[in-house]
Chains A and B, each alone.
Chain A
Amino acid sequence: MEEMMKKVSLVLLLACLSVSMFANGASETQKTPSPKKDVSIRMWTFVDPNANGGRNKALKQMIQEFETDNPGVKIAVEPKTYSTMTAEFLAAAATGSAPDIMWCSTGLLFSCIQGGLLEPLENLFLKGWTPDQIADIDDAFFKFGERNGKHYTLSLSKNAVCLYYRSDLLKAAGCEVPTTWDDLYATAKKLTNPEKGVYGLAIPVAKSGDYPILTNYIISKQGSLFHADGTADFATPAGVEAMNYVKRFFDEGITPADCKNKDSEEMQLEFQAGKFAMMPLGFVRIGTNKAQASFDRTTIKVASIPTGSWIDGWHVGVWSGSKNKEIAGKFLEKMYSPESDLLWVNVGAQAPVRKSTSKKITINDDNDYITVAGTIFGTGYNVGNDKSYDGIKLSLLVALQEVLTNNADPLQALKKAELDFNKTNNR
């Protein structure tokens, strides 16, 4: 009995020690201030400067230039998985070990700003910029990172879901690039040729597909997807009309039935194989699609989706708890400089982040998407960063799948989508 008590108490002691370490709460990080000569700035991103690839090399060059210009400063990039790194940032910030510079995802920016995790850039370098310089970067992305007059992020790797199309197929059918919903339908119908295995428009309805056809249609008819208080406003006449609009593509065979559970990845592979004439996809993926195209790659072009594109991308900010905010801000400024922008475009094959850059690039048949980028990003749309808007995609796409596979009533499906969305966001 005594032995047992001894062992039990030992285990309990261990348990208590560990529980106290695991307690859910902010911990005190005991950092003994060591007078370091070298300052190390940590940055979390998915772009690994040591990897092979255009944008990786571009980033590496920026880092090298910065370190040469600022002796004693080292930029330490920790490459992370893009889908989970922002959540990890939130967790790390809670324990005081977040990186100095963070590339935040669109969906979580709200939480980062809400939690006071990002330093207003006005406190750092932005206050020294002239109005001209600010105008050069002022677009939907710049506005997206703003709250109460302060800007918390600058966007890199700007992305927007736009319409990819095959210029050769459009030309052969005598069609113009569609700019309205009716145009989109008519063009897609004209380009559909099941005998040859070509379909006018791909609509990926799987949970990880792209949703702008549905959402943009609703927005174009009723102005917004949400009420003023942030609750979902899907189950409306515009919503039902949008559902029926998409359903028509499937019913008439303009979009093949196997798209009912297709995700973006598979859709891209099929587009590259020549199955689709048009598809909605993020702008940044044009490089891979051109590389793997089984046809002439210069025929892949992009345009805005009718009534505007959903913007996405990465919003880079400085952690408010960083010990080296000024220097971190300087590097952010460096990544956004006109010279770096040229690097991003020429070496990294990205869209320019500054309006002035597109004038400095030679445009040819293969990279003319750069000129369109300006328009697409300028008029881009996204829900604000003042509330959480998780799961728009999920709830709407599941509703669409219900309508397409189980013949559900569109209004009922949309009502359920509203409920799911509100529940997820605690509204």
Chain B
Amino acid sequence: MEKVAFPSFALEGKESVGMVDNNNNMQKSGFWYTVPAFILLLFFLVFPVFNSVICGMFQYKYMNKGEFMGLKNYIWCLTDSTILNSFKVTFLVTLFATISSVVIGLLLALWIDKKHGLFSYMIEMVGLIPWVISMVVAGILWKWILNGDIGLVNYLCALFGTKTVYVFNEPKSSLATMIFVMSWRTVGYAMVMLLAGLKGLDGNLIEASEIDGANSWQVLFKIKLPLIMTNFLLSLIVLTVSNFTNNTIPRVLTNGGPANATNVVTLQQYVMSFEFYEFGRSSALSLLVMLATMVIIYFYMKVTKYEL
């Protein structure tokens, strides 16, 4: 446990309280503040996870516990070609969707930063809307809009005088479309987070550096970005996890795409649970997904901790 890097604010309690020496009882009483939270977390998060781990070690069919499999389910998950393909697809999708939303979000944030008043507020609100509306309805509507015949795509193509396009029947375009919709959903969130960070920056610092001769790229990379690193980190974490574990958009949009081209892990997990009723294997898979996201989070925290 000692090796895990925590954000520094969680561990600074010792110094900032300033009461390390006296009143040890008060220190220890801190435990009780966290008890209500942990009772809830224990019941609804921790135990189900352990339950999942144990389930993963048995063969389950239709909710009936079968024989003890040990680690066989986990090994199966790591060697089955469909599942490995789904991991590959998930990494691709998450990588591109997250990076594109954060980069575009940053661009937008930098631009809006110079504006103020109603316009900037409205853009922020509009930006957050995709993040807060129901994913299923948004997915269904996008699928409809992007349909070559009955969707707006047809209308627009006709407007521009070109032939209509079909995006869902080819593997590559399916993948690109899914990445687009997932980015669409998260760009606003990244923009808002980064914008708030930018607004919190001290203008004098920027001016001073510009007087010193820094051009806008240097200002951006050497001064602004490092100062909003925490916002950047937080949005990266939240968006990565959200995209990685997103079950809804893939299912509604492409349902695994032509020949498993867009079959992400969460889809595979859903199919294993609710179409094959193999809860043993799907529990093993969900645990692996959880581990993967934890590794990603840990990686982010490690990387940015050194720049803080």
Which residues of B are found within 8 Å of A197, using beta-carbon distances? 149
List A225-272 residues whose CB lies under 8 Å from chain B. Answer: 257-263, 266, 269-270
Which residues of B are found within 8 Å of A404, using beta-carbon distances? 258
Interface: B231 (CB within 8 A)? no
Q: In the complex, which residue of chain A has the Cβ closest to the Cβ of B54? A: A24
B174 touches A24 (CB 8 A): no
- How many angstroms from the CA of A84 to the CA of B277 in the assembled complex? 10
A406 touches B259 (CB 8 A): yes
List B155-210 residues whose CB lies under 8 Å from chain A. Answer: 166, 168-171, 174
- How many angstroms from the CA of A197 to the CA of B61 in the assembled complex? 46
Provided the pairs A14-B42, A398-B260 are in contact, do residues A269 and B274 lie with their beta carbons within 8 angstroms?
no
Interface: B65 (CB within 8 A)? yes
Instruction: Report whether over half of chain A's contact residues are helix, strand or loop; otherwise say mixed.
Output: helix
- How many angstroms from the CA of A15 to the CA of B47 in the assembled complex? 8
Which of B51, B62, B170 contacts A405, CB < 8 Å?
B170
Question: What per-residue 1/0 map shows which CB atoms of B32-55 lie under 8 Å from chain A?
Answer: 000000010011000100110011
Which of B259, B271, B274 contacts A402, CB < 8 Å?
B259
Interface: A222 (CB within 8 A)? no
Which residues of B are found within 8 Å of A207, using beta-carbon distances? 255-256
Provided the pairs A115-B62, A259-B169, A426-B61 are in contact, do residues A390 and B258 lie with their beta carbons within 8 angstroms?
no
List B6-64 residues whose CB lies under 8 Å from chain A. Answer: 28, 31, 39, 42-43, 47, 50-51, 54-55, 59, 61-64
- How many angstroms from the CA of A266 to the CA of B167 in the assembled complex? 14
Which residues of B are found within 8 Å of A260, using beta-carbon distances? 169-170, 258
Closest chain-A Cβ to B286's Cβ sits at a distance in Å of 16
- How many angstroms from the CA of A275 to the CA of B274 in the assembled complex? 33
A15 touches B63 (CB 8 A): no
- How many angstroms from the CA of A394 to the CA of B272 in the assembled complex? 11
B169 touches A257 (CB 8 A): yes
Which residues of B are found within 8 Å of A14, using beta-carbon distances? 39, 42
Closest chain-B Cβ to A70's Cβ sits at a distance in Å of 33
Which residues of A are found within 8 Å of B61, using beta-carbon distances? 111, 388, 426
B276 touches A391 (CB 8 A): yes
Interface: B132 (CB within 8 A)? no
- How many angstroms from the CA of A205 to the CA of B261 in the assembled complex? 14
- How many angstroms from the CA of A18 to the CA of B45 in the assembled complex? 12
Provided the pairs A87-B277, A394-B271 are in contact, do residues A15 and B255 lie with their beta carbons within 8 angstroms?
no
Q: In the complex, which residue of chain A has the Cβ closest to the Cβ of B150? A: A273
Interface: A123 (CB within 8 A)? no
Provided the pairs A108-B277, A207-B256, A208-B255 are in contact, do residues A270 and B47 lie with their beta carbons within 8 angstroms?
no
B258 touches A261 (CB 8 A): yes
B258 touches A401 (CB 8 A): yes
List A413-427 residues whose CB lies under 8 Å from chain B. Answer: 420, 424, 426
Interface: A372 (CB within 8 A)? no
Which residues of A are found within 8 Å of B269, using beta-carbon distances? none
Closest chain-B Cβ to A330's Cβ sits at a distance in Å of 29
Q: Which range holds the interface residue count of chain B?
A: 35 or more
Interface size on A, residues (CB 8 A): 47
Among A87, A205, A404, A420, residue most surrounded by chain B Cβ atoms (within 10 Å)? A87
- How many angstroms from the CA of A398 to the CA of B258 in the assembled complex? 8
B259 touches A257 (CB 8 A): no
B259 touches A405 (CB 8 A): yes
B168 touches A258 (CB 8 A): yes
A258 touches B148 (CB 8 A): yes
- How many angstroms from the CA of A4 to the CA of B271 in the assembled complex? 44
B65 touches A405 (CB 8 A): no
Interface: B275 (CB within 8 A)? yes
Which residues of B are found within 8 Å of A73, using beta-carbon distances? none
A261 touches B174 (CB 8 A): yes
Provided the pairs A258-B166, A258-B169 are in contact, do residues A19 and B47 lie with their beta carbons within 8 angstroms?
yes
Closest chain-A Cβ to B52's Cβ sits at a distance in Å of 11
Q: In the complex, which residue of chain B has the Cβ closest to the Cβ of A7? A: B31
- How many angstroms from the CA of A261 to the CA of B259 in the assembled complex? 8
Q: In the complex, which residue of chain A has the Cβ closest to the Cβ of B25? A: A3
Which residues of A are found within 8 Å of B47, using beta-carbon distances? 18-19, 22
Q: In the complex, which residue of chain B has the Cβ closest to the Cβ of A391? A: B276
List B43-94 residues whose CB lies under 8 Å from chain A. Answer: 43, 47, 50-51, 54-55, 59, 61-65, 82
Closest chain-B Cβ to A212's Cβ sits at a distance in Å of 18
Which residues of B are found within 8 Å of A3, using beta-carbon distances? 28
Interface: A411 (CB within 8 A)? no
Closest chain-A Cβ to B277's Cβ sits at a distance in Å of 6
- How many angstroms from the CA of A90 to the CA of B60 in the assembled complex? 12
B277 touches A390 (CB 8 A): yes
- How many angstroms from the CA of A401 to the CA of B63 in the assembled complex? 31
Interface: B144 (CB within 8 A)? yes
Q: In the complex, which residue of chain A has the Cβ closest to the Cβ of B64? A: A115
Which residues of B are found within 8 Å of A405, using beta-carbon distances? 169-171, 258-259, 261
- How many angstroms from the CA of A197 to the CA of B149 in the assembled complex? 9
A-B contact pairs, 18 of them (CB 8 A): A3-B28, A14-B42, A18-B42, A22-B51, A24-B51, A83-B274, A87-B62, A115-B64, A206-B255, A208-B255, A259-B169, A261-B257, A263-B255, A269-B147, A398-B256, A401-B260, A405-B258, A424-B278
Partner-B contacts on A (CB < 8 A): 3, 7, 14-15, 18-19, 22, 24, 83-84, 87, 90-91, 94, 108, 111, 115, 197, 205-208, 257-263, 266, 269-270, 273, 275, 388, 390-391, 394, 398, 401-402, 404-406, 420, 424, 426
- List the 8 closest pairs (A to B, CB-CB), nearest first: A401-B259, A258-B166, A111-B62, A260-B169, A405-B258, A261-B258, A90-B63, A402-B259
Contacts A257-B166, A426-B61 supplied; 11 other A-B pairs, CB < 8 Å: A15-B42, A24-B55, A94-B63, A111-B64, A263-B255, A391-B275, A401-B260, A405-B170, A405-B258, A406-B259, A426-B59
